[in-house]
A and B are shown apart, each in its own frame.
Chain A
Amino acid sequence: MKPKELFEPDETKNQYAYDDLIVSIQAKEHGLSLLIAVCDDSNLREQIINQYETELQPEFHPYRVTLARREPSLTAAIYQLLQQEEYLRQGGKAVITVAGADQLYFLRLGEQRSEQEIFFGYLQWTREAMRQFSYPIIIWVTNQMLSNLMKKAPDFWSWRSGVFRFESKKKSAISSQELQSIRPVLIDSELSSFDNHNPHFLPLQDLKQFICQKEQNGVRDSSLATLYFSLGQVYDRRLKHGEYQDYKQEQELAIEYFSKAIELQEELGLEKNLANSLNNLAELYREQGRYAEAEPLYLQALELRKRLLGESHPDFANSLNNLANLYNYQGRYSEAEPLYFQALELRKRLLGESHPDVASSLNNLAILHNYQGRYTEAEPLYLQALELRKHLLGESHPGVAQSLYNLAGLYYYQGRYAEAEPLYLQALELRQRLLGESHPDVASSLNNLAGLYYYQGRYAEAEPLYLQALEISKHQLGTDHPHIAVILSNLDLLYKAAK
């Protein structure tokens, strides 16, 4: 991947925040400055820190301190740094970056005060002690921490020289809305005031740790099962919305938690929830290309739902649809087709003609026909799905991107390259924007667009796209994913043709 500028031209807010930070440090020169930088994305944070440390040299020597978890005292950390650095004791110009605050737990987890509370407590008492430190001190926090900092350390907050917000799609906290389903479990513990509209309510690591502690207590009950399932869902959602920090790792975590949910739900006989967990796990396996492992799970979920909910239930339709998707991927078209039809009929009947799930079914059926070579039957279904999705989900939605991508695929198969290209470009742009530059769906879009250029003889334009797709896929999906093989063979063809 070619190295990029720290910020894209349209990321003005972040650029301004960065500029603000630099000019603040340069203007002050000496004396204490408490600068609060806010960012949920640890990768972005690293990049920014490296950038400003480089830019501010040689005038300002860069230093980093990390808060000690047991004793998250800002003063103590800086004081310790001073002891070690002669240059600082001599009063040389420096910029000090404080890391580690984002690791502190928000929940008490059985302690009298949470790590964040202790941190804020120390901060609140900061001014007099900090006066001796005549440096710009940049403290990195998350959005979740910011509102709590204001409340718990109002005097420190009052002394702030500036707040610098760096936005990113990546999130490090879960919104209170997402946690509605496990609210009863959390309420029992310590979150008595559960603000319903907080987008940065609970840090992800806190939920993990909370679950970990429950596991250590040894009580295997339904609330633990609910927690497992919820955390699996959280990770799943992050992957789908581009909020993940590390795709592969979080995909594995989603799998881990759904698996744990399944185990416990089987133990406790929580069959309805079990069906959901099985379904979600199967979906993840499918995305990883583990088709053989996915199938039994889909079948089991389908059976359960049929038995518990009956055949006239949207969840049953979903199971049919998902199983059909699997067969589709495996090329088992004749097995997929009846399932798709059954799902479509059910959905139309139960949800009405104007429903996103109906759009999905239409789209899936179209894909099937596409692969079966029944292009003329596929096109109207694609168009119908696309219109419906635009109408129901808005123009900027991953579902719309998918429809565009699929329709482009149809034209591509039919050799209608000139009609395919704009659709592929549109889908690519949407996906990059909505899911992040390194999402696997972006890789797919790049690959297919490259394929298009290949067929048009536009080899020079195709190559970089293939390479980018390969890079992303290797990174996010791992080298044994089927998509890698596909891209490699495409490249092979390209190089042969280009000779």
Chain B
Amino acid sequence: MSENLLPTFQEAYRNLELLPLIEQKDLDKFQVDYGSEVIEELEQLVEDSPSGDGKIIFTGHRGCGKSTLLAEFKRRIGDRYFVVLFSISDTIEMSDINHINILFAIAVNLMYEAESRKVEISKTTKGELYKWFATRIKTETETLEAEVSTGFDLLNILKSVLKVNASVRNEIKQEFERKISDLVAHINGIAAVIQTILKKEILVIIDDLDKLELARVNDIYRDNIKALCQPGFRIIYTIPIAAIRDKFIRPLIETETNDQIIVMPVLKLFKKGQSHHKSEPLDAAKNVLSEILRKRIADKLIEQTAIEQIVLNSGGVLRELIRIANECCRICLRLIRRQPGEPVIIDEQILSEAINNIRIDYAVRLGKADYEILNTTYHNFKPDDPKSPEFLDLLHGLYVLEYRNRQVWYDVHPIVVELLQNEGLINET
């Protein structure tokens, strides 16, 4: 068998990319019907917003496809609404995120989007708006006198200044800390201008707020949720899934957003309790995940049973599915490197090695207390205290996955289960 498998495996390796599908060409190649119920839910909430200013909280496990989905969502409703989708990480330095500069970022990005789509705002109005922005970065006041046609430049400068300049961020914070309503008024002003001209309502989507560490999330959402909900148009905020379970934050969010919380689920491969025995996985989930793999890796490179096993070991989390498959390809590439010309296919043995490698990574940060929590969660499908910070950390880190029927239940990530076995905590045949 001297067929040269190298380029085929290399192609599969490239296809098994972990980053979200944003480019159209990637979507065309790899997109699978996934998450459509979530998109519909989002659409519903957006449309039904009674005064046009509903706030929606969007969350889901890391790696379940949120960013890809938000991009898709934007495409779908982009003709009906003026959608501004931006990542908070693009605009503000992570260590300095607070509710004020989130609001300020909304203002900047609204304006930016309007400029890039050449919304025809009158010169005088533009001048006013830009003046307001320019005074926020007093050190750059030379550009204050610039013509409105370079408004775009101003915004770019502003964006980069916000990102790197701590003193500017500080000034903004100090200025608006006590008069949020002023800031909100300005934001509403920009929105009003755009809405009037385009005759379309505004939807702002802020991605990557779920990347904040939980301590920061507390500060922002717990203490300042009201401020974030003040702007007079629809906003979708992302939040880490662990924060939704926090006993302080949850009720606050429910109240302020009128319970508009959407959780993007991890695919449910098993009914509750079934995963611990040798039962058949649920078809719907299994098929979607298998299809995702099949689009990215040629049939001849992988045994059918291996595909199924990868699906099962993913726990229903998209990125982990891809990671396992990617690791398998890497092992095959290594074998080809050492023994070129030898036949190679992803089989049980290679899969086992791949999963083992990933498992070693999982084991690194687990301490005794973590194992105890995982053990309890495994046996009871929930921990003793689902709101304890230690448990939320494990949830945050994908050691525990959240599933839903009518109720929420938890299961330990399949790859982590063997760690529990090694510790002698469980006996799974």
Within 8-26 of A, Cβ neighbours of B (below 8 Å) are at 16, 19-20, 22-24, 26
Is the CB–CB distance between A23 and B330 below 8 Å?
yes
Bound form: Cα–Cα A19–B319 in Å: 24
Q: Cβ of B334 and Cβ of A128 under 8 Å apart?
A: no
Contact partners of A154 in chain B: CB under 8 A: 62, 396-397
- Complex interface bits, B321-345 against A, C-beta within 8 A gives 1, otherwise 0: 0000011011101101110000000
Binds A, one of B86-94, B99-107, B249-257, B305-313: B86-94
Q: Which of A31, A122, A162, A197 contacts B367 (CB 8 A)?
A: A197
- List chain A residues, Cβ under 8 A from B393: 151
Cβ of B211 within 8 Å of any chain A Cβ, yes or no, is yes
Is B208 an interface position by the 8 A CB rule?
yes
Kindly identify which residue among A16, A121, A124, A150 contacts B364, using a CB–CB cutoff of 8 Å: A150
Is B90 within 8 A of A128, CB to CB? yes
Which residues of chain B from 86 to 124 have a CB within 8 Å of any chain A CB? Answer: 87, 89-90, 93-95
The answer to whether B89 touches A32 (Cβ under 8 A) is no
In the complex, chain A residues whose CB is within 8 Å of the CB of B90: 128-129
Q: Is B361 an interface residue (CB 8 A)?
A: yes
- The main secondary structure of chain A at its interface with chain B is helix
A150-B364, A162-B330 in contact; A125/B94 too (CB < 8 A)?
yes
Q: Is the CB of B10 within 8 A of A27?
A: yes
Tell me the smallest distance from the CB of B160 to a CB of chain A, in Å.
11
Interface of chain A residues 164 through 209 with chain B (CB within 8 A): 165, 195, 197-198
Partner of A155, one of B62, B93, B357: B62
Number of B positions contacting A (CB below 8 A): 40
Q: Which residues of B contact A122 (CB under 8 A)?
A: 94
B7 nearest CB neighbor, chain A only = A27
Minimum CB–CB distance for A401 against chain B, Å: 31
- B89 with A129: CB separation less than 8 A: yes
Question: Which DSSP category, helix, strand, loop or mixed, fits chain B's interface?
Answer: helix
Q: Does B13 contact A (CB under 8 A)?
A: yes
Interface string of B234-245 (1 = CB under 8 A from A): 000000000000
B277 within 8 A of A: no
B58 at the interface (CB under 8 A from A): no
Interface string of B59-87 (1 = CB under 8 A from A): 00011000000000000000000000001
Complex contacts, A23 vs chain B, CB 8 Å: 330, 333-334, 336-337
CA distance A131 to B21 in the complex (A): 12
Q: Which residues of A contact B9 (CB under 8 A)?
A: 27
B19 on the A face (CB < 8 A)? yes
Interface 1/0 per residue, B15-38 and A, CB below 8 Å: 001110000000000000000000
The residue that A124 contacts in the complex, of B18, B213, B398, with Cβ under 8 A, is B213
- Which residue of chain B is the closest to A165 with respect to CB atoms? B360
A161 close to chain B: CB less than 8 A: yes
Chain B residue with Cβ nearest A125: B94
- Complex CA gap A113/B9 in Å reads 44
CA–CA, A101 and B10, complex, Å = 30
**Cβ–Cβ contact A131 & B95, under 8 A:** no
Cβ contact within 8 Å between B87 and A147: no
Cross-chain contact of A125 among B89, B326, B397 (Cβ < 8 A): B89
Instruction: Give B92's nearest chain A residue, CB to CB.
Output: A125
Chain A contacts with B in 237-296, Cβ cutoff 8 A: none
* Bound-complex Cα distance A151 to B361 (A): 12
Determine whether A434 belongs to the interface, using a CB cutoff of 8 Å to chain B: no
Q: Indicate if the CB atoms of B19 and A124 lie closer than 8 Å.
A: no
Select from chain B the residue with minimum beta-carbon distance to A159. Answer: B18
- Chain A residues 98-157 with CB under 8 Å of chain B are 113, 118, 121-122, 124-129, 131, 146-147, 150-152, 154-155
Specify which of B89, B337, B357, B368 is in contact with A128 (CB 8 Å cutoff). B89
How many angstroms from the CA of A124 to the CA of B9 in the assembled complex?
30
Contact, CB under 8 Å: B330 / A20: yes
Q: Which 9 A-B residue pairs are closest in the complex by CB-CB distance?
A: A23-B333, A125-B94, A27-B10, A147-B365, A27-B13, A19-B334, A155-B211, A125-B89, A147-B364
Q: Could you list some 30 contacts between A and B, CB below 8 A?
A: A16-B334, A19-B334, A19-B338, A23-B330, A23-B333, A23-B337, A26-B10, A27-B10, A27-B329, A28-B13, A29-B14, A118-B95, A121-B95, A124-B213, A125-B94, A125-B211, A128-B208, A131-B19, A150-B364, A150-B365, A151-B365, A151-B393, A152-B213, A154-B62, A155-B62, A158-B398, A159-B19, A161-B326, A163-B357, A163-B361
Give 4 A-B pairs besides A31-B17, A127-B19, A151-B397 with Cβ atoms closer than 8 angstroms. A16-B334, A128-B90, A152-B213, A159-B19
Residues of B within 8 A of A (CB): 9-10, 13-14, 17-19, 62-63, 87, 89-90, 93-95, 208, 211, 213, 319, 326-327, 329-331, 333-334, 336-338, 357, 360-361, 364-365, 367-368, 393, 396-398
